[in-house]
Amino acid sequence: MNRTYALHETLEVHEIAAFKAICMTKSKTMQALVSDPELLRILQHDVQVSTQQLQELSGLLSDSQQQGR
């Protein structure tokens, strides 16, 4: 499916991806400092979900770059 994105949409996806990457980095870093098993499980789940979401956002950005050519 060929999608066309406006420039502002592409920039917003970049902003979301950057924010999500920062959140994931924080969750990964905090895992080393957490002693509560439930909180550790939540942080691990957040990292897994964030990784999947970043892959999806990366796909959107790749589509956006290809259509600009």
Query: For each successive 10 residues of the chain (69 residues), what is the average pLDDT?
Result: 79 96 97 97 97 95 71
Q: What is the pLDDT of residue 68?
A: 60
Q: What is the pLDDT of residue 62?
A: 87
- Lookup: tokens for 30: 């905090």
Helix axes 37-67, 7-31, angle to 10 degrees: 150
The pTM is what?
A: 0.80
Which one-letter DSSP state was computed for residue 19?
Answer: H
Q: What is the pLDDT of residue 36?
A: 97
Q: What is the pLDDT of residue 54?
A: 97
